[in-house]
A and B are shown apart, each in its own frame.
Chain A
Amino acid sequence: MKAYVGTVLRINLSTKTITKEAIDAEMAQKFVGGRGLATYMLSQEIDPTIDALSPENKVFIATGPLTGTNAPTSGRYMVVTKAPLTGTIACSNSGGYWGPELKNAGYDMVVLEGKAEKPVYITIIDDEVEIKDADHLWGKKVNDTTDTLLEEMGDQKARVLCIGPAGEQLSPIAAVMNERFRAAGRSGVGAVVGSKNVKAIVVRGSKKVEVADSEKMRDILKGAMAKIRENGVTGQGLPKYGTAVLVNIINESGVFPTRNFQTGVFEEAEEVSGETLEAKYLVKRDPCYRCPIACGRYCKADDMEGGGPEYETLWAYSADCGISDLKAVIKANHLCNDYGLDTISAGCTIACAMELFEKGYIKAEEIDGPELNFGNADAIVEWTRKMGEGEGFGAKLAQGSYRLAESYGVPELSMTVKKQELPAYDPRGIQGQGVQYATSNRGGCHVRGYLISPEILGIPEKLDRLSLENKPQWAKIFQDLTATIDATGLCLFTSFALGAQDYADMLSAATGQEWTADSVLEAGDRIYNIERIFNLKAGFTKADDTLPKRLLEEPIPEGPSKGWTTKLDELLPLYYEVRGWDAEGVPTEETLKKLGLK
């Protein structure tokens, strides 16, 4: 079985035992790798009802079979665990260089179990794996931690994955960071790593990932690269403007959530657009491993410079907080990266706090920092810092918007699904995206199924964003294909140019297994269903497949999507049917049998 390197590195932090076990080849084929295989293993090994921050939870840091190969964008790894933010399965995906380095060291995944007595970090240098004392690192921010570890290792080429102070403080919106600016951002995976007293994992590998048929792989990659280069989005749009180019498109469609989703049009969108970012603040592009698309940005504002901001971040801190000061947004993004906070959840939590403040729930005398008014640029920077430090009222914000709004008796003012903050597209004007949000296995999220692609960008075909027709079918296909792409270890952005057949061809040549477009989609369906089953066992029901009340009941008040709400009542039963789930959203026996899960 090629492309997998064949070894799972298991580290029990309670007993300080390090074991290396062979990867289960049969299950690897069935669940592809990464997100799929790790979810399968997690489901086998933990009880989904446990507390996410207890030593019983485990963290799978997993690559896919294509990670570290010559395939374009093959730098991805995923953090799979039970999420503290949502209580659902978590799978947070990150790029950069850490994933390929892990495979070059000889491991497909690292499993963290138990809890270290005191702070530790882990070094993996090929076969040498050590658990080391991290007292001197605890409390350090991400850049400082990275610098210190690179110096200690005496090897600037080592790759550092770490948590920041937010993860140490168990904030449920803490991220796992690698190479300073790349984030496995969502669902609070950083807090789970922090709960195990693990500060960092440094990797250095000297091997090479081998594929089954290198000649065939070369031909297939030539074709895939040509498609990526010739495609307008992956060949021109993303390289030139990064993801922030979406600001104007989404705003022109009237679905750019503004002031905590109170409207869908931001009057100052141009000030924070990808075009403005490129003209004023872009220092350079910052691509991940083997990536010809290079959407990654590196920007500078005054004394702060670093990776990002990407579209979702930019939106959360600008329109959602009513801010048009791009400099402040860049600074807030920088602070999130350095403290190890998820930028979407952090920005959206401040937006929610602003609505709570303006509506009188949060009182001026209760807060120890800038007034939380929409449009206050100082507030987004200072409150992000205080969230990262866990200081004063910032510690309350660091719990995420759901817990914050709930503490004032108005959880409906948190724009979340399953307690995870929604990203930058108002589903009231994008009906398919609405049902996708409601059924995403990790709660509010756009990268479980990016329906924006057909509904707004017209890729692979144009759909009317306000029509309900066939949207449940589209949601399922996008969710399934995404699950497989994630599991392969490639970047989701390749899917603007590539289709199921391309992924099948790459998987076949790399692994030596037989893959077809159909089996790629079926594997995704299987992964989606095991995630669903994990959530059902954790206690989630149909009632959780919903959206914030505002999006179901209050029409968008102005602009091109004026008058619309998400028609979830109509879409959800059809979605369950398309998935082969019963009326309660539970996979039927027949569906499980068909997918080989019975």
Chain B
Amino acid sequence: MKILVKLFATFRDNRFVKQEMEFPDDTTVKEVLAVLAIPDEEVAILMVNGRNEEVDHPLKDGDTLSLFPPVGGG
């Protein structure tokens, strides 16, 4: 299945901004993080199609996964 992975802030360093990636069906966010070499605990906000989810969330074909380190403001 195809997943659109979007990285933000420091996660972009030595990686990419946005990339479509292939994964086997039912891959979880945790498994994607392992491929990207991003430790789970560094992820502060994790969105699947714009909704906050947890790392064990299973992905579906066509999902957009957005990953942020701790950031905030206002």
Residue ranges of A at the interface with B (Cβ–Cβ < 8 Å) = 231-233, 236-238, 240-246, 248-249, 252-254, 270, 274-275, 295, 310-312, 446-447, 450, 452-453, 456-459, 462, 464-466, 492-493, 496, 559-561
Contact = CB atoms under 8 A, between A and B. Distances in A.
Interface in B1-28: 6, 8-10, 12, 17
B9 A560 contact: no
Contact of B9 (A245, A450, A458, A561): A245
Contact of B73 (A244, A253, A270, A559): A244
Summarize A's interface: helix, strand, loop or mixed. helix
10 contacts: A232-B69, A237-B72, A240-B9, A243-B73, A245-B9, A248-B8, A456-B52, A493-B73, A496-B72, A561-B50
A496 B44 CA distance: 13
A393 B46 CA distance: 45
Q: Of B6, B70, B73, which is in contact with the most chain A CB atoms at under 10 Å from its CB?
A: B73
Given A248-B8, A249-B8, A275-B12, A559 B72 contact: no
A146 B26 CA distance: 62
Given A245-B73, A458-B52, 5 more contacts: A245-B8, A246-B72, A248-B66, A254-B50, A311-B73
Contacts of B9: 237, 240-241, 245, 274-275
B52 A249 contact: no
B45 interface: yes
Given A252-B66, A458-B44, A238 B72 contact: yes
Contacts of A238: 71-73
Contacts, number: 96
A421 B12 CA distance: 34
Minimum-distance CB pairs A-B, first 6: A560-B50, A232-B70, A243-B73, A237-B71, A233-B72, A245-B71
A452 B72 CA distance: 9
Contacts of B10: 236, 240
A498 to B, nearest CB: 14
B72 A457 contact: yes
Contacts of A246: 71-74
Nearest to B70: A232
B71 A559 contact: no
Contact of A253 (B6, B12, B47, B72): B47
A389 B60 CA distance: 55
B51 A446 contact: no
Q: Of A240, A249, A453, A561, which is in contact with the most chain B CB atoms at under 10 Å from its CB?
A: A249
Given A245-B9, A249-B45, A559-B50, A231 B70 contact: yes
A231 B69 CA distance: 11
Contacts of B50: 252-254, 559-561
A437 B74 CA distance: 14
Nearest to A232: B70
Contacts of A274: 9, 71
Nearest to B68: A249
B63 to A, nearest CB: 12
Contacts of B49: 560
Nearest to B52: A462
